[in-house]
Amino acid sequence: MESKNSNSLKVFLYISVWVIIWGTLGSLIDYPLYKNKIYLEGSVYQYLTFTVTAIISIICGIFLYKKIDL
């Protein structure tokens, strides 16, 4: 039972780290686009930026999860 709880915690932390990575990467891409007035805050392009970075983050997270074998 202890092993299952430990594994659940590792998976939860792994997903949490990937959410932080996704948010950071999305913000780093979004900031210069927003500051240079390429698009406005809340526009569909801003949502698209975060959606694309989320998809990339999910794909990378799944690939890496299989490699590290939690």
14 pLDDT band (50/70/90 cuts)? very high
Checking if the pLDDT of 13 tops 70, the result is yes
Between the alpha carbon of residue 42 and those of residues 22, 30, 45, 46, 51, the distances in Å are 18, 11, 8, 6, 13
The strand ranges marked E within the chain are none
**pTM higher than 0.85:** no
57 pLDDT band (50/70/90 cuts)? very high
Between the alpha carbon of residue 40 and those of residues 27, 36, 43, 51, 69, the distances in Å are 14, 10, 6, 16, 41
Q: Which domain holds residue 11?
A: 2-68
Checking if the pLDDT of 1 tops 60, the result is no
The DSSP output letter for 46 is H
Report the chain's mean pLDDT, rounded to a whole number.
Answer: 90
**Structural domain tally of the chain?**
1
Mean pLDDT (whole number) for 45-63: 94
Type of residue found at 11: V
